[in-house]
Structure 1
Amino acid sequence: MSTKKRSVRKNIHPYLPERLYDRFKGYCSKMGVTESSVVEEALTRFLDEQGDMPLVLRKIDRQTRSIERIDRDVKALSEAFSVFVQIYFAHTPEIAAEDKAVAQHDARNRYVKFIDYVAEQISAGRTLVDDLVQDRIGDRDELRRLIEQASRNEDES
């Protein structure tokens, strides 16, 4: 005779909506488990919070924060590019047709140097976004005023 001690078990009578009950019965049948074992496991996980949900939620939160950082960085880089293009157009005169070949050659050489410099910065772990001030310094209207002022100053020179 076995001296194995049985744990005291209590009987409960929960009520389920018909569709949930049908899913529950189907799951138990498909998995070959008892209804009691499924309810016990579900309640244990729910009450002890030992299920995967807290882990999944932490991972989702981490991914959300990562996406927010990427979004912030893309916005900063887009704005930096926009400012660069505006300043470039404000300060770069049209090139005469006879000077275009020399200018294109010079541009290719300068571009290669630029790419090399960017590669060095990235390999050293430095980024433009790291250098940016997190607080907003100005808005587009202020930028336009500064560009116009710089253009007037160049015209006066």
Structure 2
Amino acid sequence: MKKAKITAYVDAALFNELDELSVRRRIPRTQIIEAALASFLSPDSAEQNEAAIVRRLDRLTRSLERLERDQEITTEALALFVRFWLTTTPPLPDDTYAAAKAKGKERYGGFVGTLARRLAKGTTLTKELSRDTHSAQHSE
């Protein structure tokens, strides 16, 4: 096969990488450059890149779908709790309001502390629900 000579200027760092690869693999630099150009100019290269992008987009789509599902579960659980709490909790008499407010502040502090510990451990309600649902399905 007839060879044509080309002269090209590349960044010194890129040239050093090429040189190191040539020595490490014991392949002439020309052979590495030919392979790189062939790969770059190959029509399959674009198809391979597109396939890789499609795979990544599919993974991102699945991840977003899981996030959407988790958000829906969270919103529904919160809505059910608020509805239940509002329908079952009687209003406080005026003379006990200050004490209830102080107790509520104390309980909220405990809630935030517990939440912080659970998040630090990686324990989440979503994981518990997933595990409980999985266990319930396999026990049937």
Q: TM-score range by the shorter chain?
A: 0.5 to 0.7
In 1, distance between residues paired with 2:117 and 2:43? 56
Which of the pair has more CA radius of gyration? 1
- AA partner of residue 75 (structure 2): S
Matched with 2:123 is 126
Q: Deviations over 1:2-27 (max 9, x none)?
A: xxx238xxxxxxxxxxxxxxxxxxxx
Normalised by the length of structure 2, the TM-score is: 0.61
Listed as ranges, the matches of 1:1-157 within 5 Å are: 5-6=1-2, 41=41, 43-45=43-45, 49-50=47-48, 52-132=49-129, 133-134=132-133
Q: Deviations over 1:6-49 (max 9, x none)?
A: 38xxxxxxxxxxxxxxxxxxxxxxxxxxxxx9xx9253435xx4
- AA partner of residue 70 (structure 1): L
Normalised by the length of structure 1, the TM-score is: 0.55
- AA partner of residue 62 (structure 2): R
Q: Which runs of 4+ in 1 moved over 6 A?
A: none
Gaps of 5+ in 1: 8-36, 136-157
- Which structure carries more relative contact order (alpha carbon 8 Å, separation 6+)? 1
Q: Deviations over 1:78-127 (max 9, x none)?
A: 01101110111122110111211111111010001001111111111111
Gaps of 5+ in 2: 4-36, 135-140
Q: Cα RMSD over matched residues?
A: 2.5
Task: Give the drift of 1:70.
Answer: 0.6
- AA partner of residue 107 (structure 1): G
How many percent of aligned residue pairs carry the same amino acid?
Answer: 29
In 1, distance between residues paired with 2:115 and 2:60? 27
In 2, distance between residues paired with 1:112 and 1:55? 48
